[in-house]
Amino acid sequence: MSQPLLSLTGAAKTFGPVVALADGTIEILPGEIHALVGENGAGKSTLVKILAGLYHPDAGAFTVSAASVAFRNVADSKAAGISVIYQEPTLFPDLTVAENIFIGRQPKGALGLISKNRMRQAARDLFARLGVPIDPDRIAEGLSIADQQIIEIAKAISLDAKVLIMDEPTAALSGVEVERLFQVARSLREAGAGILFISHRFDEVFALSDRITVMRDGRYVATHTTADVTTDAIVREMVGRDIGALFPKSHSEIGDVVLHVEDLGRAGVFTNISFEVRAGEVVALAGLVGAGRTEVARAVFGIDPYDSGSVSFLGTRLKRHDPQAAIDAGMGFVPEDRRKQGLVMDLSVARNATLTLRNSLARFGIISAGAERRAAEEWTARLQVKTGSQEYAVSTLSGGNQQKVVLAKWLATEPKFLIVDEPTRGIDIGTKSEVHRLLSDLAARGIAILMISSELPEVLGMADRVLVMHEGRITAQLDRADATPETVMHAATASLEGAK
């Protein structure tokens, strides 16, 4: 067996009373794609931050190419050939793609001047190697997240990275973009790099990885050769118990129309959007990333304006561009980008989970800490939010646990109509089924639900009806019985039926 590019054994990291990592252990070989899996809060990102030089471990042994290392900072880690591709890279928006790649170390021309041509050519060569055509001269602003990640990878290669780490890189990517990223990862593996890949999506883990390391509660559990192991076995090691079925769709009475959207349009974003959602019904809004699903949901809820059409809720026309009116009328909205839009990072878990409940918790305008804690406890327990205390700032929670707090916050309001945008993104497989069950329960109690999801199994498993969007239009409305992977994908990718 070849010498590991990197090996971390028994790494520990605590934050005050919180043990984020008790035994972080991982070995990355040249030419392998190594997946790291575990429930929300298992310690995966903490381990990554140690490898990246962001955190100093309290204990543990760390070697790179068999030599012991102790990184003082990110620069040390980079110098040792380790590059981390973040879920949402932060490029300099005003600089060109090539400048972003070579920032601080531009190739020099004959007289020691920075040669724009050489920089451009070097960037072009990198993209050619990766098989992704991105224009080196364009400004970074406005690039898709997928392209930004590729640029970060190009930068890592130009820095001669031996180990590439990707912490949930696919969370914000569309299917085509995921496939492109995987091709890039495979070609880097071919060239001898080692790749560490974190994802909650098992289809991705099994499609891409050569080996899988499982973590639970901050500890290393086991490493397997992917070909020799099953999803069930991995899940059992991850959660240490049996989990419920995914998509437990329960029967619910479909009642009267709750939401009626008529011919909604917004120039350049969506057109002719008409649909209804009934009490007790789960309507899925399917389509590829960028089809305009989130934009429609935001307009319906009043976060964004629309140019034409109308939104009626419980028989009354809703004021345009007024989210407070929507909330007052009984609507809830769980945003896609929960960390940015759904949480106040410095406030406690309990406070965040009850932000939407403040009126109903108040007695004479005052909310007791006890009432807040009790309300928060119920929902954070149902969603298995992992935190040492309800009083900790929500910023200290792992990514997936932050997502759960936002879900808790909206589910606790018991709205009449709930929009959920990618409800299980970033959420581990154990809690996924719980989120599905909660949504099913809400529907069974007569709540109308509009669910945006890019996961086809989730759409097909949960929805009574599926609306499919493509380029800002609804291209199909399918009843549960007619919704299949083929019919949904066809409407999501093909143009309007009539235009075929």
Pairing of the two strands 211-216 and 257-266: unpaired
**Residue 149 makes contact with Mg ion by CB under 5 A:** no
Question: Which does residue 96 bind out of Mg ion, ligand ATP, none, counting CB within 5 to 8 angstroms by kind?
Answer: none
**Residue 271 makes contact with ligand ATP by CB under 6 A:** no
Please answer whether residues 70 and 92 qualify as being in contact, where contact means their C-beta atoms are separated by less than 8 angstroms.
no
Q: How far is the CB of 44 from Mg ion (least distance, A)?
A: 5
C-alpha span between 439 and 437 (Å, rounded): 5
C-alpha span between 380 and 197 (Å, rounded): 28
- CB nearest ligand ATP: which residue? 400
Site string for ligand ATP, 28-57 (x = CB under 6 A): ----------x-xxxxxxx-----------
Question: Which does residue 41 bind out of Mg ion, ligand ATP, none, counting CB within 5 to 8 angstroms by kind?
Answer: ligand ATP
Order of all β-strands in the sheet with 331-334: 331-334, 417-421, 448-452, 282-287, 465-470, 473-479
Q: How far is the CB of 45 from Mg ion (least distance, A)?
A: 3
Which residue type, as a one-letter code, is found at position 434?
A: E
**Residue 45 makes contact with Mg ion by CB under 5 A:** yes
**Residue 401 makes contact with ligand ATP by CB under 6 A:** yes
The residues, ordered by sequence, that sit 6+ positions from 77 with a Cβ below 8 Å of its Cβ are: 51, 52, 53, 71, 84
**Residue 465 makes contact with ligand ATP by CB under 6 A:** no
Output DSSP code: residue 288.
Answer: -
Nearest of 373, 404, 374 to residue 386 by alpha carbon: 404
Please choose, out of 243-251, 314-322, 399-407, 456-464, the segment that lies near ligand ATP by the rule CB under 6 A: 399-407
The residues, ordered by sequence, that sit 6+ positions from 5 with a Cβ below 8 Å of its Cβ are: 28, 29, 30, 64, 65, 81, 162, 163, 194
Output DSSP code: residue 139.
Answer: B
Of 390 and 398, nearer to ligand ATP (C-beta) is: 398
Nearest of 261, 326, 270 to residue 294 by alpha carbon: 270
* Subset of 392-411 contacting Mg ion (CB under 5 A): 399
Question: Which does residue 147 bind out of Mg ion, ligand ATP, none, counting CB within 5 to 8 angstroms by kind?
Answer: none
* Subset of 404-443 contacting ligand ATP (CB under 6 A): 428
Q: How far is the CB of 219 from ligand ATP (least distance, A)?
A: 11
Of 165 and 483, nearer to Mg ion (C-beta) is: 165
Q: How far is the CB of 97 from Mg ion (least distance, A)?
A: 28
H helix runs in 330-428, sequence order: 338-341, 349-353, 358-361, 369-382, 399-411
Q: How far is CA 288 from the centre of its chain?
A: 15
Of 354 and 401, nearer to Mg ion (C-beta) is: 401
C-alpha span between 458 and 461 (Å, rounded): 5
Of 20 and 286, nearer to ligand ATP (C-beta) is: 20
**Residue 41 makes contact with Mg ion by CB under 5 A:** no
What kind and span of H or E run contains 61?
Answer: strand 59-64
Q: How far is the CB of 389 from ligand ATP (least distance, A)?
A: 10
**Residue 461 makes contact with ligand ATP by CB under 6 A:** no
Please choose, out of 14-22, 70-78, 91-99, 203-211, the segment that lies near ligand ATP by the rule CB under 6 A: 14-22
Q: How far is the CB of 334 from Mg ion (least distance, A)?
A: 19
Q: How far is CA 173 from the centre of its chain?
A: 9
Tokens standing for 216?
């639970």
Q: How far is the CB of 298 from ligand ATP (least distance, A)?
A: 25
Tokens standing for 284?
């899925």
**Residue 170 makes contact with Mg ion by CB under 5 A:** no
Question: Which does residue 162 bind out of Mg ion, ligand ATP, none, counting CB within 5 to 8 angstroms by kind?
Answer: none
List Cα–Cα distances, 73 to 19, 55, 67, 82, 157, in angstroms. 21, 8, 17, 12, 20
**Residue 24 makes contact with ligand ATP by CB under 6 A:** no
Pairing of the two strands 473-479 and 465-470: antiparallel
Question: Which does residue 169 bind out of Mg ion, ligand ATP, none, counting CB within 5 to 8 angstroms by kind?
Answer: none
Please answer whether residues 243 and 433 qualify as being in contact, where contact means their C-beta atoms are separated by less than 8 angstroms.
yes
C-alpha span between 64 and 66 (Å, rounded): 5
**Residue 238 makes contact with ligand ATP by CB under 6 A:** no
Output DSSP code: residue 393.
Answer: B
**Residue 77 makes contact with ligand ATP by CB under 6 A:** no
Question: Which does residue 18 bind out of Mg ion, ligand ATP, none, counting CB within 5 to 8 angstroms by kind?
Answer: ligand ATP
Tokens standing for 278?
């009934």
Of 19 and 303, nearer to ligand ATP (C-beta) is: 19
Q: How far is the CB of 366 from ligand ATP (least distance, A)?
A: 30
- Which residues contact Mg ion (rule: CB under 5 A)? 45, 399
- Which residues contact ligand ATP (rule: CB under 6 A)? 15, 18, 20, 38, 40-46, 386-387, 396-401, 428
